[in-house]
Structure 1
Amino acid sequence: MIVGQRICNEGSSVTWKKLAKAGHTKLVFETDDLLSEVDPSNKQAVLFYDADTVRRYHENMAMADVITVTTDRLAEHARTVNPTAQIHVLPNQVPGWLLDHEKPATPDPSLITIGWRGGKSHDRDFGELARPLRSFLQHPRNRERMELHCMGADYTPRVTSNHSRTRWTGWHVSVADFLRAVDFDLAVIPLRDSVFNACKSDLALVEMAALGIPSVMSGVGPYAEAHMAGAPSVLVLNGTSKRPDWQGALRDLVDDPEARTQLGKQAREWAATRTIEANIHRWEEAYSS
């Protein structure tokens, strides 16, 4: 059995095709994004996933015996590409040690730390949050009691003013190092309503929940679905409202430390169902099928 992740480059596609033609090996095609619908603002990804690359991506998916995806939306797409393959939805999980990890102290423990994590590809996603967050941070009541901490890509310039506090931590060597360094009191997870994002997983929410960090997130795609399924979090509706109330949601949790603590505890209990250790049987079942 060969598991191939996002097989779409020319060289790997040649190998994949030879394996499929020989018929001696079962092929498992794995993907966790809808690569034919990459947001145009993600210029690096758009350049890489051009028409030929996406064509090879779909051709290789069509040759697979089994397809594994992370969301139901991706499974629907996979069925249109390869109706005969077995398709398994294997939601993203997190390592179990996160449930017992105590997050590090912030440089200034007197401040409430609002945190965001992610890469440069989230430029338009962060745009859903930037203006209201900037106003929230520079409000006279908040200037001396809170900060924004960005981890990964640096979006602090989009909310920085003379009356707000921000800091940035760049990339870590490994995912585990990053997770150990997260020091948020409250996480914000903005997501733009798009076809690509509708197929994404709720991994950002699961990571924060496993660390006991409550999240305020956009009411679209995987986060709306997770919230409806019972994930403890605060949902900010967008798509149905021209001005989603990020400030109101943040204010409620910032002003109520008990509610913030309780939501974090509930989130951690929920995340206990989303660990690799608790769900490894899903991969065993998919591969043994």
Structure 2
Amino acid sequence: MTVLPGVPASVADFDALVVQRIVLPAPTRTFLKHAAAGTVRTVVELDDDLWNLDPSNRQAADFYTPEMLRNLERCCEAADAVTVTTDSLAERVARWSGNVHVVPNQVPAWLLEHKRPRNPDVVTIGWRGGTSHARDFGEIAKPLRRFLQHPDQRGRVEFHSMGMDHTPRVASRHTTLRHTGWHTNVADFLRAVDFDLSVVPLRTSVFNQSKSDLALVEMAALGIPTVTSDTGPYASAHGGPNVACSTPAQWEDALTAFTTDDSYRRQVGKAAKEWAATRTLEGNAWRWEQAWLGDARHEQQAA
């Protein structure tokens, strides 16, 4: 089984041709050609509801035009299988494919053993993400700012924004703030995470209902407790290790509880790591094999 960064000229030596977010005309034509030939199993992978992008994410919204999305739909229709990361996204894609598999995002096992960098002199509240999450951060900006500017937090708690710089949105007198820019790869980013507490705000929207819980799994694998919005993949109904909040008061209460009680923070972090141990790439590789090859693998083994 092989996953390729691009479409190969010849696929005779491969079991599966797997593509992600395929929308450009030329790759679409090539993928459809191989799907029609039937000489290799064709799979489309998708991890976002590209049909319901937030308009504030202008770069993505402008790129994924109706024509581009129709190319993706055609590939889903022609593919032997489609894999997605959430049940909500599976419901969306089911209109174009009768063979949709939900394969949740996983994390590398080494993350469970990694000793994250820490500053013992302060409690670090951390956020990580890109420009597409600007409106999501708005869910926590005010309560986090109020929390950080309280006299009790001076010199004791800091906020660390990784990726997009949201420190100006929570800045006030006497607050301690840091920003770390982008890393060259995901592994470097994960090794640099130094949070004692992670916050993952998410606004309620159609797009976010189909998002995966990868941010939570990454932090949990590092033993970091996470406070989230009570929506999408982080809704309390899902039973994850996160503390889910619906109001500004709940956010402030959760931040206070985690930053004032070291024992509580460690206890929740330990439970989160145990939960994340079930979500490793190494332990769940069979899910992709099953989705990508399906009956083809069993037929080959029988022969």
TM-score (norm 2): 0.89
Which residues of 2 match residues 24-173 of structure 1 at below 5 A? 24-82=39-97, 84=98, 86-106=99-119, 109-173=120-184
Q: Are residues 1:273 and 2:278 paired?
A: yes
Which residues of 2 match residues 9-24 of structure 1 at below 5 A? 9-24=24-39
CA RMSD of aligned residues (A): 1.2
Provide structure 1 residue ranges, at least 5 long, that are not aligned to the other structure: none
2:126–2:197 Cα contact (<8 Å) kept: yes
Task: Tell me the distance in 2 between the aligned counterparts of 1:118 and 1:265.
Answer: 24
After TM superposition, give the deviation of residue 28 of structure 1 in Å: 0.4
Provide structure 2 residue ranges, at least 5 long, that are not aligned to the other structure: 1-15, 295-303
Of 238, 246, 250, 2:251 maps to 246
After TM superposition, give the deviation of residue 24 of structure 1 in Å: 2.3
Which secondary structure does the structure 2 equivalent of 1:92 belong to? coil
Question: Which residue number corresponds to residue 231 of structure 1?
Answer: 240
Task: Tell me the distance in 1 between the aligned counterparts of 2:182 and 2:80.
Answer: 37
Deviations along 1:70-114, one digit per CA (max 9) or x if unpaired, are 0011111111122x3x211110000001111111123xx311100
Which secondary structure does the structure 2 equivalent of 1:30 belong to? strand
2:41–2:293 Cα contact (<8 Å) kept: no
After TM superposition, give the deviation of residue 65 of structure 1 in Å: 1.1
Task: Tell me the distance in 2 between the aligned counterparts of 1:67 and 1:233.
Answer: 29
Task: Tell me the distance in 2 between the aligned counterparts of 1:20 and 1:231.
Answer: 38
Query: Which amino acid in 2 is paired with 1:251?
Result: T
Task: Tell me the distance in 2 between the aligned counterparts of 1:42 and 1:90.
Answer: 26
Task: Tell me the distance in 1 between the aligned counterparts of 2:39 and 2:124.
Answer: 54
After TM superposition, give the deviation of residue 231 of structure 1 in Å: 2.1
Query: 1:10 and 1:244, CA in 2 relative to 1: closer, same or farther beyond 3 A?
Result: farther
Question: Which residue number corresponds to residue 231 of structure 2?
Answer: 220
Question: Which residue number corresponds to residue 264 of structure 2?
Answer: 259
Which secondary structure does the structure 2 equivalent of 1:95 belong to? coil
After TM superposition, give the deviation of residue 244 of structure 1 in Å: 5.4
Query: 1:244 and 1:2, CA in 2 relative to 1: closer, same or farther beyond 3 A?
Result: farther
**Stretch moving more, 227-236 or 35-44:** 227-236
Query: Which amino acid in 1 is paired with 2:239?
Result: G
